[in-house]
Structure 1
Amino acid sequence: MESWFSFTSLSLRVSLPLTFLLPLILLVVVWTKVRNTANKRRPPGPTGWPVIGNIFDLGSMPHQDLYKLRFKYGPVIWLKFGSVKTMVIQSPKAAAELFKNHDSTFCDRKITDAMTSCSYNQGSLALSKYGTYWRIIRRLCSSEFLDRKQVRRTAAIREKCVENMTRWIEEDSQASRACGGSGEVQISRFLFLMTFNMVGNLMLSRDLLEPHSDKGREFLDAMETILVFAGKPNVADFLPFLKWMDPMGIKRNMDQHLGRAMKIVGEFVTERVQEKKRSGTEKVNKDFLDAMLENKDDGQEGPEKISERNVTIVILEMFIAGSETTSSTIEWAMTELLRSPNSMRKVKEEINSIIGLKGKVEENNMDKLPYLQAIVKETLRLHPAVPLLVPREAVEDSTYMGYNIPKNTQVLVSAWAIGRDSEFWDDPLSFKPERFLGKNIEYRGQHFELIPFGSGRRICVGYALAERVVHLALATLIQSFDWKVNSLSPGIMDMTERMGITLRKRVPLKVILTKRNSVQATI
């Protein structure tokens, strides 16, 4: 009897925990099954590590690493960077599905910790949440940059800035020779000065920099530092519990340098506001700042109101977006032409036939230069300034190409990989401008095999301006000088990329030039 009671008490001691444990085990099994089922509906991708996910799958050139993953997992890839769920799109077909059928679902932006500095993301056009404020700023920017009348009116500004650039390049080359050098010039510096001053004229009606002066130097230094830190991968973005520590110091540096740049632009804005109050009259020729301030004075209330701080942020954004991207595209185009003597010869012949050796290149010449246009398209295909575009974010749970994509998923569209898709492009890694001749392929968001400016409602608002500047500057450089590189063979030029907020050459292009008069090109 005693043994029976002992056995019964033991059974009770065992069965009571099991009573509570069995439902828990069942719950875990069901949850695991549900999770695995959900994961099967996600796009394919590499298995990540606990907590950190796929952070170690990408290096300093994430667009290149993602492109390699495509060959194993396909054009739509699923990754997790710490706590950040990410879908990567790397084919024209997948991009077309996103922008044509799911644009509104993925219309928000994924904001990095660096870009929350000084509340920059709240006033920015590119980074602000999709809503009323974004629509107002977008409409204002479109009227300034895409309106044909406005574009024609500002053509003289762009031509003046390009003319100044060629003069500076020639003076720098002559100074080098006078000191016993070869006359070699690093053109990226002058390209950036040109685009920076062009944006300054369009935004503020003033030159901000001269190549050998201190005027605007503080602003330029702040800008260059912002571009560096804004493009750095930040562990605090992937593991949000580390944000308060700012372990890589990126937020602290952005606070300092972005704050400095905003202070300088803010002084321009305040100066213009005071000038308007003193004059009391309407300006005939208005710049972008005038248009912004007019909208600010409408007396709007609520979150969509454009404050003076928002005006400052948008002006600064135009410098960040307009200077680096445009100058890097022109540098890549010149590099590719110097590596391809046959392409250089063809475009020189085309320009000579339309403009001549001594004629002045003007914007209204560009429609008559189809080979030059093909060169620009081929450059944008191979070297999009923002290779992964600006990250998007899902505003709600959705189904995309049969996959379940949860809300807040980060979406990266690789314009770099799409431009190298061998299913669409023949010999995709080669520079062949001829592939665009006689074909109606544009980069304005409707041909998804070529989307360096994005597509959909959040396409880059400045693409029309960038298009004009790149063509004008490139044609002027080709027409004004004969170019060569100081190496045994142009074909062995360093084409290594450097990733920041934009995709630049790691080794800046250095060239030797001679002024063209009436002699035919030697290349």
Structure 2
Amino acid sequence: MELLIEGLWGRRPILLQALVAGATLVVAFWLRLRWNRRHKSEWPPGPPTIPILAHLHLLGELPHQSLAKLAKRYGPLLGLRLGGVRTIVASSPLMAKEILQTNDMVFAYRPRFAAAVHMYFNCADMGFAPYGPMWRFMRQLCATELFNAKRLSSCRNVREEESRDISRAVLEIGKKGKEPVELRAMLLAASNNITCRMCMGKKFGEISSIKKGSEGERQDLLSLVEELMRLLAVFYIGDFIPWLWWLDPYGYLRQMKATGRKARSFMQEIIDHRRQELNGRAAQHSGPEDMLDVLIAAADDPTAEFRISDENIMGLILDLFAGGSDTSSVTVEWALADLINNQEAMVKLQAELDAVVGKSRLVTESDVENLPYLSCVLKESMRLHPSVPLLLPHESVEACQIGGYRIPAKTRAYVNTWAIGRDPSVWERPLEFWPERFDGNNLDLRGKQFELLPFGSGRRGCPGWSLGVLNVQIMLATLVQGFTWSICSPSSPPQGTQQTIDMSERFGLAVNMDKPLIVYATPRLPLSLY
């Protein structure tokens, strides 16, 4: 024993270091416990965590549905830790209002996701850009130049033409109702064409790069946007556990960087080419013809208080594709599926179209204001199937109070519009497709009322919501007017129980139907109109 004591004493520096380290850990643990007890009531309730992942493992394949279930147990404001990120989730109109309106300025910021950094030129777009003077300038530019009533009206013929092209494709591919048609690709192509023609004056497939890609193939906008949208929807662990950024088994980070380089090269070539055209047009004093003209004019205006860069132009155009085209096509597919599953609503909408438009011409945008039931159908479908059910995440710049809880700075906030749309305390018969609930109801889609938020609200609400509404209105109206839709072939009606469309979801950048809508479409108008 004496030898043991002497040996330990002889190593007293090491022993003292160990004792100090142990005491420090004990004190730190004790202080942490005291802090937790003192502040437990200040953070919203949530489920127990596990090491490293915290609550990430609870999200599942459909995070909006998983979070809605947790909200039923823990309340309308969830307090979570997604990996190393402090997070709150609002699942009621009141909590959504506190985040998006009461504390709008505090939550006007976005987290920096790897996809936005590497594919949107260090967040140079408007969707992911940090809140500040440049963002406010871009927002004002969108409101006054890109999405104003005059410009949207000038592109009305584009939306009508693309909607009629869908009808023509349905008629040809479906062989006048004899063969099934899958609508998803047609809807997405039409949405992309509308966006592309408004932005750059050409159809989606007509935009290609003069330069050749790394494999000697011409680059085209379709493959670029598809890759961009795919990578925006992937789960990259570095966004939630920064010290595990290197743990990327699928190579998402490498793919994001490569796609960002392709996007920069591709879009810069388009901008440079358009600048040359504009210089040639300058002598003729012709005004801007499309959105790209407007953006380049804003970038090159020497008198402007702020001048956007070419990267801002690239980011804004990619925003329009990622945030507009996919969501519009998804919304129309969900709405049409809802109508096919609810034939009474389908018959009522077709009767309204026949009364207002008739059967001797195709519906136009000028008819839409006289189709109130069409508006009810779209609102009801967006309530049940919001294309972006958690909206884009917000991040607090300073501490604030939400629902009586203290929310620290650098907290991410999600608004679960899917949960709000199915809340029985907000909606009567919440799981039913019942468009009549909006008949005479003053709820609109602009984000002023927090029971229905398909486009978000506040400073970070979608600036192109009016364009999105116009797109889905004319596409859905054209398809419903033009065809009788059914799950089974008209020549072999179903036996026994009536079949319905599977309304399961698949999570992504926009939440699609898990199984694409494949149905029969029998023409109900004179064939010469298609």
Same fold (TM over 0.5): yes
Measured at CA, do residues 217 and 328 of structure 1 come closer, stay the same or move farther in structure 2, by a change above 3 Å? Answer: farther
- How many residues align structurally? 500
Distance 1:260 1:19 in 2: 55
- Map residues 407-422 of structure 1 onto 2, 5 A cutoff: 407-422=409-424
CA shift, 1:266, in A, is 2.7
The equivalent residue for 1:399 is: 401
- Map residues 73-88 of structure 1 onto 2, 5 A cutoff: 73-88=74-89
Greater displacement, 429-438 / 485-494? 485-494
The equivalent residue for 2:257 is: 255
Greater displacement, 331-340 / 159-168? 159-168
The equivalent residue for 1:50 is: 51
Measured at CA, do residues 322 and 490 of structure 1 come closer, stay the same or move farther in structure 2, by a change above 3 Å? Answer: farther
**Conserved 8 A contact 2:298-2:304:** no
CA shift, 1:263, in A, is 3.1
CA shift, 1:362, in A, is 1.1
CA shift, 1:100, in A, is 2.3
RMSD: 2.8
> Are 1:33 and 2:34 matched, yes or no?
yes
**Conserved 8 A contact 1:42-1:78:** yes
Distance 1:152 1:77 in 2: 42
**Residues 216-258 of structure 1 deviation map (CA, whole Å, 9 limit, x = unaligned):** 9832123222222211222221211122453331121222334
> Are 1:514 and 2:522 matched, yes or no?
yes
CA shift, 1:29, in A, is 2.3
Distance 1:185 1:31 in 2: 61
**In structure 1, the residue corresponding to 2:205 is in which secondary structure?**
coil
1:286 pairs with one of 286, 289, 292:
289
Gapped runs of 5+ residues in structure 2? 1-8, 10-14, 207-216
**Conserved 8 A contact 1:55-1:80:** yes
**Conserved 8 A contact 2:120-2:260:** no
Distance 2:147 2:350 in 1: 29
CA shift, 1:261, in A, is 3.8
The equivalent residue for 1:205 is: 201
> Are 1:296 and 2:292 matched, yes or no?
no
**In structure 1, the residue corresponding to 2:130 is in which secondary structure?**
coil
Measured at CA, do residues 404 and 274 of structure 1 come closer, stay the same or move farther in structure 2, by a change above 3 Å? Answer: same
**Conserved 8 A contact 1:193-1:209:** no
The equivalent residue for 1:62 is: 63
**Conserved 8 A contact 1:351-1:369:** yes
> Are 1:498 and 2:506 matched, yes or no?
yes
**In structure 1, the residue corresponding to 2:329 is in which secondary structure?**
helix
Q: TM-score, normalised by structure 1?
A: 0.89
1:314 pairs with one of 308, 316, 330:
316
Distance 1:16 1:191 in 2: 68
Measured at CA, do residues 307 and 490 of structure 1 come closer, stay the same or move farther in structure 2, by a change above 3 Å? Answer: farther
**Conserved 8 A contact 2:335-2:378:** yes
Measured at CA, do residues 99 and 285 of structure 1 come closer, stay the same or move farther in structure 2, by a change above 3 Å? Answer: same
**Conserved 8 A contact 1:235-1:248:** no
**Conserved 8 A contact 1:236-1:247:** no
**In structure 2, the residue corresponding to 1:85 is in which secondary structure?**
strand
The equivalent residue for 1:469 is: 471
CA shift, 1:335, in A, is 0.3
CA shift, 1:355, in A, is 0.1
Measured at CA, do residues 115 and 285 of structure 1 come closer, stay the same or move farther in structure 2, by a change above 3 Å? Answer: closer
Measured at CA, do residues 35 and 168 of structure 1 come closer, stay the same or move farther in structure 2, by a change above 3 Å? Answer: same
The equivalent residue for 2:235 is: 233
Gapped runs of 5+ residues in structure 1? 1-8
Distance 2:498 2:260 in 1: 39
**Residues 283-303 of structure 1 deviation map (CA, whole Å, 9 limit, x = unaligned):** 33521111101110124899x
**Residues 340-380 of structure 1 deviation map (CA, whole Å, 9 limit, x = unaligned):** 01000000000000000122211111111111100000011
The equivalent residue for 2:4 is: none
- Map residues 2-151 of structure 1 onto 2, 5 A cutoff: 25=26, 28-151=29-152
Q: TM-score, normalised by structure 2?
A: 0.88
